[in-house]
Amino acid sequence: MGQKKVFGIVLAGGEGKRLMPLTADRAKPAVPFAGQYRLIDFALSNLFNSGIQKIVVLTQYKSHSLDRHVSHTWRLPAMLNQYVASVPAQQRLGKQWFSGSADAIRQSLNLIHDENPDIVVVVGADHVYRMDFSQMVDAHIASGLGATVAAIRQPLSTSKSFGVIEVDQNEPHKISQFLEKPAHCEGLPDSPNEILASMGNYVFDADKLVEAVIRDSDLDGSKHDMGGDIIPGFVERGDCGVYDLNDNDVPGSTPRDRYYWRDVGTLDSFFDAHMDLISTLPIFNLYNEQWPIFSQQLNSPPAKFVRDSRGSTGTMIDSIISLGCVLSGAHIERSVLGPWVKAESGSAVVDSILFDRVEVKPGAVVRRAIIDKNVVIHEGAQVGVDHDHDRARGFTVTDSGITVVEKNGVVLP
């Protein structure tokens, strides 16, 4: 990144309706992930590891849990001129909340003016991946363009789920068209069965970003969205490049997880991303010490596996167990358990995700489920076994058969 001043903005105001009920009481970026993390930790860790250490997090929807996590976890030493600051909607330009991601930046331009950077890196807060943004910034500067979009290769069949990037045949690092969730599009010249999908991460020349969000604020019909309005504007002006994640080399990555990226915006994708973690050779490796994912280190004892009153030790297979868990004669298989989970004698947790302080009483069964924090599953109760019974109790059941129990719930037989 040379001598350029680089400033990071994390867009974290999203409501996350498709993750309900996990987002009923928290912002989407604050949703727990992989036991001890929050979703926002991946974006912040990538920026910090990339050497971008002046970062603001723009929040809005039910942000208390998110603000608390950022303030507790991301306290950087002020004497080194580093910071991660959570910034709520401040209504600086009138009595209105953010009306889109671009409007969030427009209403927070004081942050850019105060820092006076050369380059602004804008990222989403709800994706699971590793990326060295310093390499993308270098590519952006070399391009001479005003904006650069990070892209990942995805199957052609998934085009209607993404913003799709088409490149200029004569200048392959320049975007010729940006198509929002097209029903049909062409594959890549070097890989006809793949597309370049936007990752929701951008690099801008600071002055051009400021001009763009101000210009967009006056446009009739604009949704004031970074991907839907700002980037297409740069493309129309011939001032937008693309950065292929395949060109990014993260220290410590493996061929299996080098280009991993998941949008965990639905309950099914959230569940699948957890299942990617638990194999012997995981699709996404949390144990990369050269590019760590930082999070709050709880003042908690180690996990404990003990015999129950009958002398049974239980079993634990292909699972992630967080600090503070006590498992007594329980069977845990292909599951992720958050901090301070208790599973008692004869209980079974299979293909499931349990958030903080869930209690699974003796003989209870949890299968293919997501259980939010502080839920108590009583003796002999079942979750994820009979979907009709789950629905009758008010639990969410996805089309693929994942049962979700909301925070502070009580599950009776």
For residue 336, the model assigns a pLDDT of 98
User: Which of 97-106, 187-196, 255-264, 297-306 shows the lowest mean pLDDT across its residues?
Assistant: 97-106
Q: Which two tokens stand for residue 96?
A: 């209105």
**Residues 129, 35 within the same domain:** yes
Is residue 346 part of an annotated ligand binding site?
A: no
Q: Is residue 189 left, alpha or beta, with left meaning phi > 0 and alpha meaning psi from -120 to 50?
A: alpha
Give the domain CATH number at 27: 3.90.550.10
**Residues 254, 319 within the same domain:** no
**Residues 134, 175 within the same domain:** yes
Q: Which two tokens stand for residue 329?
A: 């004669």
Average pLDDT over residues 158-169: 86
Is position 30 within any domain?
yes
Confidence at 116, pLDDT banded by 50, 70, 90? very high
**Residues 233, 322 within the same domain:** no
The number of domains in the chain is 2
Task: Judge whether residue 278 has pLDDT over 70.
Answer: yes
> Per 3-state DSSP, what percentage of the chain is helix, strand, and coil (rounded to 5)?
25, 30, 45
Average pLDDT over residues 192-215: 94
**Residues 107, 206 within the same domain:** yes
Is residue 163 part of an annotated ligand binding site?
A: yes
Give the domain CATH number at 360: 2.160.10.10
Is residue 62 part of an annotated ligand binding site?
A: no
Average pLDDT over residues 158-180: 86
Nearest by Cα to 250 from 347, 133, 365: 133
For residue 130, the model assigns a pLDDT of 96
Task: Judge whether residue 401 has pLDDT over 90.
Answer: yes
Is residue 338 part of an annotated ligand binding site?
A: no
79: amino acid identity, one letter: M
Task: Judge whether residue 17 has pLDDT over 90.
Answer: no
Residue numbers of the domain that contains 220: 6-275
Average pLDDT over residues 303-316: 85
Is position 77 within any domain?
yes
**Residues 46, 161 within the same domain:** yes
